[in-house]
Amino acid sequence: MQFHLPQSYFSKIMRAIVEFEMIERGDQILIGLSGGKDSLLLTYALAMMRERTKQKFSLRALTIDPMFDNAFDTKELSLFCASLRIPHEIHKVDIAGVIRSEPKNAPCFTCAFFRRGAINRYASEHQCNKVAYAHHNDDAVETLLLNLLYSGQIGTFQPKTYLDRSNLTVIRPLIFLREREIIEAIQYHGMQPVKSPCPINGKTKRETVKRLVADLTDNNPLIYDHLAAALRKSGENGTSEMNRLWPAAKSRQEMRESYEHFMKE
């Protein structure tokens, strides 16, 4: 198969793989293939890397069917993977049932939790040492704002994360690509994303934050770049801008001790 990506896209993916040491010789990588535009491009890009680099590694793909009421047609995904010589399996996980039984929990959190758990179990059972997800740069920026606005925390996911409980490493090779670049790439190749079966697709907090970033950037084109820059540690020693934040709140006991010290003569 003849692979092609614009040089700038290929360079961004290669930069992520090299900078964060995502792929090593002998890796067995499981791709989380949801069928959306991002995971389609990830699967294509990793197949391309497998052919073009000297680091010999193997690939397989897994699609989780969350068993929502909406139709989820995965036949084309299997054909797509076959064209790339990537083994592909589909696993049904009754995430819809769990969400119905636990209505107090945020459905997106429940879905992500059980989806990751199923993928990690499959990876371990099939001797995969790495799991690849298709999160891109916009996802990282949006997660930063989601954590800040909805949980009062500053942080986002890492390009590469080791999971000590499962002895797996999660990698995100598309981390430097913008979402618009992914859209352009799949349109160029004629890839057809599978319609998401999620009943609240397009109505989530992430969509709210996505629109917020777009609106802010329309008024000031530098907004996105500033948010993306905030993902990085800075300074000569790699220190974080976190040192400009207030100290963590003291416990009641610590406050009591500080008060008693202050009130001493």
- Is residue 95 in a domain? yes
The pLDDT of residue 240 is: 60
CB atoms within 10 A of CB 242: 9
The pLDDT of residue 198 is: 83
Give the range among 3-17, 38-52, 207-221, 231-245 with minimum mean pLDDT. Answer: 231-245
Q: What residue type is 94 in one-letter code?
A: D
The pLDDT of residue 247 is: 78
Helix, strand, coil in percent for the chain, rounding step 5: 50, 10, 40
Q: Report pTM.
A: 0.89
Give the range among 35-49, 96-110, 113-127 with minimum mean pLDDT. Answer: 96-110
Over residues 187-198, the mean pLDDT reads: 89
Over residues 6-11, the mean pLDDT reads: 93
- Is residue 2 in a domain? no
Task: Reply yes or no on whether the pLDDT at 107 is more than 90.
Answer: no
Q: What is the pLDDT of residues 9-67, one digit of tens each?
A: 999 999 999 999 999 999 999 999 999 999 999 999 999 999 988 889 999 999 999 88
The pLDDT of residue 222 is: 96
Q: How far is CA 72 from the centre of its chain?
A: 21
Domain extent, residue 58, equals 7-197
- Is residue 215 in a domain? no
Over residues 105-110, the mean pLDDT reads: 82
Strand ranges (DSSP E) for 19-87? 28-32, 58-65
Longest pairwise C-alpha distance within the chain: 82
- Is residue 247 in a domain? no
Q: What is the pLDDT of residues 150-164, one digit of tens each?
A: 999 999 999 999 999
In the block, residue with structure tokens 């636990």: 102
Strand partners, 180: none
Q: What is the pLDDT of residues 66-83, one digit of tens each?
A: 888 888 888 999 999 999
The pLDDT of residue 164 is: 94
Question: CATH number of the domain that 162 lies in?
Answer: 3.40.50.620
Q: How far is CA 226 from the centre of its chain?
A: 20
When divided into structural domains, the chain yields a total of 1
- Is residue 248 in a domain? no
- Is residue 74 in a domain? yes
The larger pLDDT score, comparing residue 190 to residue 233, is at 190
Q: What percent of the chain has pLDDT over 70?
A: 95
CA–CA separation, 139 vs 180, rounded Å?
A: 12
Task: Reply yes or no on whether the pLDDT at 236 is more than 70.
Answer: no
The pLDDT of residue 1 is: 66
- Is residue 257 in a domain? no
Among 241, 239, 262, 238, which residue's Cα sits nearest to residue 250?
262
State the chain's mean pLDDT as an integer.
Answer: 90
- Is residue 252 in a domain? no
Dihedral sign for Cα 102, 108, 113, 114, please.
positive
